[in-house]
Structure 1
Amino acid sequence: MNIAIVSPGPFTVPPVKGSSVEHDIDEVTKAMPSQHNITIYTRKCSAYPKSERKNNIFYRRLRYEGQQDYIKSVIKQLKKEAPPDIIMVENRPHFVLALRKVFHRTLIVLNMHSHVYATTPLISKAKMKKVVKQMDGLITNSNFLRLRLIKEHRIPEHKAHAVHLGVDMEPYLKQADSPELNKLRKKLGITANHRVLFFAGRLIPAKGVHVLLESFQKIAREDPKAILLIVGGTGYGSNRLNDYVKKLHALAKPIAKQVIFQNFVPSHDMPLYFQLGHVVATPSTWEEPFCRVNLEAMAAGKPVITTTNGGVSEVVKEGHSGFLIAPSDWKRDLPSIWEQMWKSTLLRTQMSKQALHRAAEFSWQATAYGYLNVFHQVMQQEKPAIDRQKHFLIG
């Protein structure tokens, strides 16, 4: 099958400074069987050549001077090449409308990573209604997001498919005994006696870092060994000191000796950083569609204390690989869960093992085959003059 993937545009593939959607594109395409020809249309940058081929994946890197300019460049390039069997648009519904004006018969699948770009003011309700009619299929990263988009935009259920994201466990497991780990602990002032609660992510209100700091106050007062390590910046590759970050530092001031802020860390270094924590916290206040950080934490063998919001419960099992707390209950519940976990070595050991087993259930190969199965279903539903089905092979 010939597959064209249109990335959102602001960041390149593979990602240089992070960026979650581009990371997902990179991982899932590398996991697809080699008989499928994949072309990724993405932003050009100084780190990579304008065009390059790696095995069955061809990268077309184009200028990015805003969304409209970018999708025009993508369409111009697509017209020069043999028409693909499937175009998968990543997280930008309005790209579907631009592509459909030119490619009337090509199958187009929209892959949504959250609901955000399907809401006003990013796209009007009228345009979103057209997207639903003009796309041939929808992929979401959780069943929660699938059901939400079906309800909000009246998407026919047969068009929408939930496919969970994956994780490559090897880099996380490999760092468990890394000689670099002690060096990093020393650099950050973490000793063998410390009990580390770990947060990784963007420092934005939706990620609930303020909730975590407010909830950690009681832990810090009652447990002198407790350390809260916060790893992340305001954006992918950005460590800008905005009003929200200033608020976080103000919240941390009364317990400053027990809170460590570490700036943005590139994704390829994060497996080592996850090993610094004993428990990972993801206190998101918004409805996380999936929350890949939880999966990465479990791949490192770390129990997770996370939110009840969104699709998180599809990944983290309550009392098994972690604990789920409603955003309004963190101040009350986090200290008691923390105390419970440190009272029982057996509990922490069991949850660590269970976290590893749970993470192993999510692989990029499974995600890749999930996407291919969606493409297969879309092709079967379509009845064009030519037989597209003959191009589909799952290895």
Structure 2
Amino acid sequence: MCYVNIRVLMVIQGAPMAHVHFMYISCNSRGYYIWQKSYVGKLIRFDLRTRDLQIAHKRSKILLSTFHRLKKECTDFDEIRAHLINERDMFIEEGIHLEANYIYWINSGNLPSRQQNDSRFQAKGHKISQVADEWYNEMKSEWRPLTFKGNKAAIDYLISLYGDKDIQSFNKPKVASFKKALKNKYKSEFSSQSMFKKVSALFSFAADKRDYITKNPFSNMGYKKIKKINPRISVSTESHKKVLELIEHKSHLWWLIQVLYYTGMRVTECIQLTEQDYVYIADKGQKIACISVNDRDGKRIKNSSSIRTIPIHKNLLQSGIMDEKPVFPWAVHNPVSNAVANLFKKIDV
């Protein structure tokens, strides 16, 4: 092994000492340059894939810049090393494409002037943020506000890890490192899977709707089927009665607990009920009191299968639900979901 400070003096004899600053590079016995940097007591070290000192210098500067950005965002040694190797490979690949374009121009006999090289050889890239903006604009009419917020948070997290790179530069090794970053970020595998799917959807958009990439690198890189860690627990009649004793009779929360218990509706469906959703359905000459779950007037539902008509339980009818037709003051489900959960915690359910 000969270290770069010695090799620089040999290679560029007579050069000003200002040029002797190729830190973090060494060269092996075969003449290939190696990049190395100490981190958390370990040495990140790998081949720069070149015997050319100037090329090694360029790659080293890019890697050092990437290293300083990454160490602010994650602390895992193996993850940072994998990111840096991906960065090296992308830089090499971009150089190969540039050289291929140059050879094409030579063979075609239409070589552009030096002034034209940058604009004509540089492949037009599509930054992740730019593709994401196109995705948001195309899907905004179909997404709920919370869906947009969740998708944007996932893409913002991706960019915080890797920078706002061209979407074409994302490959399967980088997808693997992204999965590892999600594992470190979230305790729940469901949360990791949710973020992964959101980012994968962006790349599917780039491949299928825009042809910015030939295929989605996230394909076949997803999670195995995850077992539910917290299965749903049924609420017994006794627990239901105990909770009602903690609430003011016929208050908003009292009615909500009753409707949830006797209909099996989702909290989001309940809080969007209007008086017009309490209906009577004719069946064999009888009028059946029902609750209509629908998407009228901009109401949000999970999917088309969620639209249904639910016969009202006799206990709700005896409580006067068709006379009062309760509606609820909550605009979003989080506060009331937490309130319901806290009630059941009080009775140790």
TM over 0.5: no
TM-score between both structures, scaled by the size of structure 1: 0.24
Structure possessing the higher radius of gyration over alpha carbons: 2
Greater relative contact order (Cα < 8 A, sep 6+) = 1
